[in-house]
């Protein structure tokens, strides 16, 4: 019987890991549909960003109270995973608390710490659920999250609560143990027979670990993927001043060759596209940004356009990019290569009105706890609108022609440029 359980466990573990890895592979492939940009400079600063932004959650501490609650969940998640190692080894070998004989008193200390963390995670998740559903914080009831995204957020919190409860109940039902949090649950179950208790313990054990496997496989479909991608995203975060926009060497060269034709190579190659209309035209970092987004909405709260009722929401820019990328990925899965589906990120997912509202103020970039730049995507789409589709409001066309003819965005004579000094 025990052997059967072990075999089932090993099979389920392999299946869970396999399907998780497979989905991650797909996400990796989707990210690489983006344009190749090489980011490998200043490695020391990049590792420092992993420490500060990802491990240290520096941006979260812009709001210390929430940061501490989030830290409970985050530290709890990482540290309780150590216990997961024992749980998995127990499952494979059919042992019960494999580490206990080797660790002695340290074992009790460890499990007690895990239990305290589990209780803190429980507490934080309940507070988070309240913020979303009872207090109804503005950024959590925004129209961006209507439907699935809002369910996703609640589901994640509910799953964490269930997993932590199972872990604590499992320890409470273990009659040989006496741990710091779970012993307070014991009075509620002490009247059960020893066989019932061990059934409770075993059921909790199975539900807990299967729940974790299920959750792991749910991650890649959820906003919760940030727990993995926040780390590489911090590493690849831009290190230049936020005001600095990406240069477009292709356009730079076009202008250079027009001004100095002698520099133009004999066979000039013109890029097939300026700016981005679809996800494949964005950089792989933009696409990783989209998968890293945890839909917290700090960006949209800080956005001056969003705060004054404009259609633009930087969070929605990221969610739309991910949705479109997933759709393109499924298209490739089905057809072996991307077959045009008559849709593009620009227009079908992100409208001109949204793009037009951006003031490029960088508030969204500043706020993002996981180093995402919605602004980068907005600019790439704007470039396509102007340079490929000649789609500009008439005032902008006037501004362009003033710059071209008068060297200033307004219609003044360049001869009057120093008139103020007269």
Partner 1 sequence: MKVNTMAEMMANGQTPEILFWVGCAGSFDQRAQKITSAFATILDKTNINYAILGKEEACTGDPARRAGNEFMFQMMAYQNIQTLNGYNIKKIVTTCPHCFNTLKNEYPALGGNYEVIHHTTLLQELIEQGKIKFTDSNEWKGKSITYHDSCYLGRANEIYEAPRKVLESLDMELREMKRCKSKGLCCGAGGAQMFKEEEKGDKRINAERADEAIETKSDFVASACPFCNTMLTDGLKNREEEVKTEVLDIAEIIAQAIQ
| H-helix or E-strand spanning residue 65 | helix 64-93
65 makes contact with partner 1 (CB under 8 A): no
Reading the block at residue 356, the tokens are 């037009």
156 or 357, CB closer to partner 1? Answer: 357
178-191 burial, b at 16+ Cβ within 10 Å, e below that, comes to ebbbbeebbeeeee
Residue number, 199 or 245, with CB nearest to partner 1: 245
CA 20, CA 215: separation in Å to the nearest integer? 10
Interface with partner 1 in residues 205-264 (CB under 8 A) = 240-245, 247-248, 251-252, 254-256, 259
5 token code pair: 């359980």
Residue among 134 and 258 whose Cβ is closer to partner 1 = 258
379 binds partner 1 (CB under 8 A): yes
Specify the stretch interacting with partner 1 by CB under 8 A; choose among 120-128, 146-154, 217-225, 305-313: 305-313
**Cα(409)–Cα(310) distance, integer angstroms:** 25
Q: C-beta of 344: minimal distance to partner 1 in Å?
A: 16
The residue within the footprint of partner 1, chosen from 363, 370, 372, 377 (CB under 8 A), is: 363
Locate 242 and state its tokens.
Answer: 């936020």
According to DSSP, residue 246 is labeled P
187 vs 243, beta carbon nearer partner 1: 243
Contacting residue, 128, 168, 356, 376, with partner 1 by CB under 8 A: 356
Q: Candidates 304, 323, 327, 343: give the one binding partner 1 (CB under 8 A).
A: 304
| Among 46, 97, 100, 310, interactor with partner 1 by CB under 8 A | 310
- Smallest separation (angstroms) from partner 1 to the CB of 324: 20
Stretch in the footprint of partner 1 (CB under 8 A) among 134-142, 221-229, 327-335, 360-368? 360-368
Q: How far apart are CA 142 and CA 11, in angstroms?
A: 42
Residue 223: CB atoms within 10 Å = 20
Q: Which is nearer to partner 1, 122 or 282 (CB)?
A: 282
Whole-number CA gyration radius for the chain: 27
Q: Which residues of 278-296 are buried (b: 16+ CB within 10 A; e: fewer)?
A: bbbbbbbbbbbbbbbbbbb
Region from 119-127, 156-164, 194-202, 299-307 binding partner 1, contact rule CB under 8 A: 299-307
Residue of 314, 285, 319, 313 whose CA lies nearest to 152: 319
Contact stretch for partner 1 (CB under 8 A) within 20-28, 221-229, 264-272, 392-400: 392-400
Contacts of 180 (CB under 8 A, 6+ apart): 112, 115, 116
Contact segment (CB under 8 A) with partner 1 among 91-99, 102-110, 177-185, 389-397 equals: 389-397
Among 75, 126, 200, 387, binds partner 1 (CB under 8 A): 387
Single out the segment in contact with partner 1 by CB under 8 A; choices: 13-21, 80-88, 189-197, 406-414: 406-414
- Which residue in 171, 220, 180 sits closest to 28, CA to CA? 220
Mention every residue, 6+ apart, whose C-beta is less than 8 A from residue 293. Answer: 223, 226, 315, 318, 319, 322, 370, 372
Query: Whole-number minimum distance, CB 276 to partner 1, in Å?
Result: 11
Under rule CB under 8 A, residue 60 binds partner 1 = no
Closer by beta carbon to partner 1, 14 or else 397: 397
Q: Does 317 bind partner 1 (CB under 8 A)?
A: no
Give the whole-angstrom CA distance, residue 172 versus residue 416: 83
CA distance 12 to 29: 26
Taking CB under 8 A as the rule, does residue 55 contact partner 1?
A: no
Q: Give the closest residue to 24 by CA, choosing from 291, 280, 283, 230.
A: 291
15 Cβ contact list (under 8 Å, min separation 6):
none
Q: Interaction with partner 1 in 272-291: which residues (CB under 8 A)? A: 274-275
Does 396 interact with partner 1 (rule: CB under 8 A)?
yes
CA-nearest of 331, 350, 330 to 340 is: 331
Quick one: 172 or 346, whose CB is closer to partner 1? 346
Site for partner 1 contains 67 (CB under 8 A): no
Judged by the rule CB under 8 A, the positions of this chain that interact with partner 1 are 62, 240-245, 247-248, 251-252, 254-256, 259, 274-275, 302, 304-305, 307-312, 353, 356-363, 365-366, 379, 382-387, 392-393, 395-396, 398-400, 403-404, 407-410, 412, 414-421
């Amino acid at each position: 019987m025990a052997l059967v359980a072990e075999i089932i466990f090993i099979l389920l573990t392999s299946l869970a890991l396999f399907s998780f890895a497979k989905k991650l592979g797909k996400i990796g492939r989707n990210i690489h549909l983006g344009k190749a940009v090489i980011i490998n400079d200043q490695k020391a600063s990049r590792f420092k960003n992993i420490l500060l932004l990802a491990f240290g959650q520096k941006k979260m501490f812009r709001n210390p109270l929430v940061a501490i609650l989030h830290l409970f969940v985050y530290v709890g998640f990482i540290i309780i995973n150590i216990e997961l190692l024992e749980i998995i080894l127990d499952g494979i070998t059919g042992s019960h608390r494999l580490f206990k004989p080797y660790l002695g008193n340290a074992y009790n200390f460890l499990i007690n710490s895990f239990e305290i963390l589990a209780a803190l995670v429980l507490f934080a998740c309940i507070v988070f659920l309240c913020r979303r559903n009872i207090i109804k914080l503005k950024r959590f009831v925004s129209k961006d999250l209507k439907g699935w995204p809002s369910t996703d957020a609640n589901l994640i919190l509910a799953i964490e609560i269930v997993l932590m409860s199972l872990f604590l109940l499992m320890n409470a039902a273990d009659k040989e143990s006496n741990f710091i949090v779970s012993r307070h649950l014991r009075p509620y179950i002490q009247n059960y027979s020893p066989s019932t208790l061990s059934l409770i313990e075993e059921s909790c054990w199975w539900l807990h670990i299967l729940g974790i496997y299920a959750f792991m496989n749910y991650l890649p479909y959820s906003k919760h993927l940030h727990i993995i991608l926040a780390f590489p995203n911090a590493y690849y975060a831009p290190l230049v001043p936020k005001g600095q926009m990406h240069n477009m060497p292709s356009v730079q060269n076009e202008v250079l060759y027009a001004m100095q034709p002698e520099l133009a190579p004999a066979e000039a190659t013109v890029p097939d596209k300026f700016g981005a209309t679809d996800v494949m035209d964005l950089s792989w970092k933009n696409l990783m940004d989209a998968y890293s987004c945890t839909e917290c909405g700090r960006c949209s709260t800080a956005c001056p356009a969003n705060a004054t009722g404009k259609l633009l929401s930087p969070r929605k820019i990221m969610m739309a990019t991910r949705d479109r990328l997933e759709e393109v990925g499924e298209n490739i899965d089905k057809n072996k290569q991307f077959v045009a589906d008559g849709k593009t990120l620009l227009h079908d997912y992100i409208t001109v009105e949204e793009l037009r509202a951006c003031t490029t103020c960088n508030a969204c970039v500043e706020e993002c706890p996981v180093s995402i730049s919605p602004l980068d995507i907005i600019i790439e789409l704007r470039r396509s609108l102007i340079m490929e589709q000649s789609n500009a409001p008439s005032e902008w066309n006037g501004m362009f022609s003033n710059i071209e003819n008068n060297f200033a965005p307004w219609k003044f004579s360049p001869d009057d440029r120093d008139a103020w000094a007269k």
